[in-house]
Amino acid sequence: MDPEASTNSPDTDPAGEVVDLCRELIRFDTSNYGEPDGSGGPGERKAAEYVAGLLEEVGIESRLYEGTPGRTNVVAHWGGGDPTRTDGLLLHGHLDVVPAAAEDWQVDPFAGEIVDGYVWGRGAVDMKDFDAMLLSLVRARQRAGRLPDRPIVLCFTADEEAGGHHGAQVLVEQHREEFEGCTDAVGEVGGFSTTVRGRRLYLIEAAEKGMAWMKLTARGRAGHGSMINDDNAVTRLAGAVARIGAHQWPVRLSPTMEVLLATVADLAGTEATPENAPALIEEFGGAARMLGAVIRNTANPTQLQAGYKVNVIPTEATAHLDGRFLPGYEDEFFTTLRELCGDDIEWDFLSHQQPWETPYDGDLVAAMTRSVLAEDPEALVAPYTMSGGTDAKHFRNLGLRSYGFAPLRLPADLDFTALFHGVDERVPIDALQFGARVFDRFLTDA
């Protein structure tokens, strides 16, 4: 069926509910404070029940799963009308968000307000926008009887913002049967546009850096702060942290980024090389802060703690580190990190997850490209590597080919990547509607 046929009625328009649903989802405070045991924060239960109710309202049954009380995941099966299609497709989005300090915002971060053509609120771009797109188009297609031929698994997870250990990891380890038959997965942080030399370029996530959230510990000899002490844990740790923070990691181009940089180089009238990769990244403007992090490994110290009194040298000092490593460069990352730390610094992993990279080819990539170009014919589409982490790290353990595709056509002057976990997070209304239409086309073609 022609996707345009669904736009005749508000009830069957794939974009008909997307704005209202995004606002409603934002109003559920699902702040994730990242406690390892899953405690702290309100959890996702109320939002998950709301999502399950929206699906049930149009006749789609879902199941709720919790590995930890209140950390709730939603799973539903949909479509699959063609018995010859055994290649299931997983569509996943998370319901939790990072915390927001209301005093820093222009609007209440959990009010879902509309201001100047944008939906504002925590989760507007990470990632209740995509959740709303999925729900809007699924409900519209279900009402119109436009079920996909391909079997679809809809999954809305908990705890993604803290590594997914109480969300996607629980589903993969304890409820693997829900994903039986799935061959591909599509989730967040891809399909959004950037503008390079006047051309809109849509970035599809085809790779993701690995994650090493680490606690570094230095130990030394306690003593009085007024005396000489050549075994000071604070000094030892501070030196390691300073070396890590100042280290210049070399450029390393993965296959995914080679394709992206070749696309940009063509626009710039040059060729992509490791030497000019940083200059090509600068063509992305504000998005360079994210894309500049995926042509090299990174390690950023984020927390320090030591001592309990100004005149007491403590026996222990600790630091937390956010390390990210490119596909194929994990050994190089940890070898370099050990050299920077020195032998006297102990390591503990808070979360250690592998990178992944899916070849940018095949029918699914072609369907994503066609769906974007059908709505924006003059655009370009290319893959990129994500600097952060998503639930794809867990779902990849099921052997799925994974991509990030939450399409948004964005204004050229919007510093979109700054809105992830940022103050005044917001998404354009017309971008939400565009995304729902594009994804509707994608499901017809996938």
pLDDT in tens, 343-384: 999 999 998 989 999 999 999 999 999 999 999 999 999 999
- The CATH number for 197's domain is 3.40.630.10
| Same domain for 427 and 367 | yes
Does position 180 have pLDDT exceeding 80, yes or no? yes
Section 284-298 average pLDDT: 93
| Same domain for 384 and 306 | no
Section 402-423 average pLDDT: 93
- The CATH number for 219's domain is 3.30.70.360
| Same domain for 160 and 99 | yes
pLDDT of residue 243: 97
What global pTM score does this model have?
0.90
- Chain position carrying tokens 């997914």: 164
| Same domain for 83 and 69 | yes
Q: Which residue has the higher pLDDT, 39 or 200?
A: 200
pLDDT of residue 417: 87
| Same domain for 153 and 53 | yes
Q: What percent of the chain has pLDDT over 70?
A: 98
Does position 7 have pLDDT exceeding 60, yes or no? no
What is the tens place of the pLDDT at every residue in 131-173?
999 999 999 999 999 999 999 999 999 999 998 999 999 999 9
Q: Structurally, how many domains does the chain consist of? A: 2
What is the tens place of the pLDDT at every residue in 65-122?
999 999 999 999 999 888 888 899 999 999 999 999 999 999 999 999 999 999 999 9
pLDDT of residue 6: 40
Q: How far apart are CA 134 and CA 18, in angstroms?
A: 8
pLDDT of residue 259: 96
Expressed as residue numbers, the domain containing 138 is: 3-206+355-445
Q: How far apart are CA 238 and CA 253, in angstroms?
A: 31
Which of 353, 372, 391 lies at the terminal end of a domain, its last residue? Answer: 353
Contact 112, 27 (CB under 8 A): yes
Which of 300, 324, 353 lies at the terminal end of a domain, its last residue? Answer: 353
Token pair in block for residue 109: 């971060």
Contact 205, 111 (CB under 8 A): no
| Same domain for 303 and 244 | yes
Q: How far apart are CA 407 and CA 70, in angstroms?
A: 30
| Same domain for 221 and 138 | no
pLDDT of residue 10: 66
Confidence tier at 12 by pLDDT (50, 70, 90): confident
| Same domain for 181 and 112 | yes
For the chain, what is the mean pLDDT? 94
| Same domain for 189 and 51 | yes
Which of 298, 320, 353 lies at the terminal end of a domain, its last residue? Answer: 353
pLDDT of residue 388: 87
Confidence tier at 277 by pLDDT (50, 70, 90): very high
| Same domain for 243 and 342 | yes
Classify the C-alpha dihedral 42-43-46-50 as positive or negative.
positive
DSSP conformation class of 220: -
| Same domain for 116 and 20 | yes
| Same domain for 197 and 301 | no
Inter-axis angle of helices 429-445 and 363-375, to 10 degrees? 140
Confidence tier at 25 by pLDDT (50, 70, 90): very high
What is the tens place of the pLDDT at every residue in 215-272?
999 999 999 999 999 999 999 999 999 999 999 999 999 999 999 999 999 999 999 9
Q: How far apart are CA 100 and CA 109, in angstroms?
A: 7
pLDDT of residue 2: 41
Tabulate helix, strand, coil % of the chain (nearest 5).
Answer: 35, 25, 35
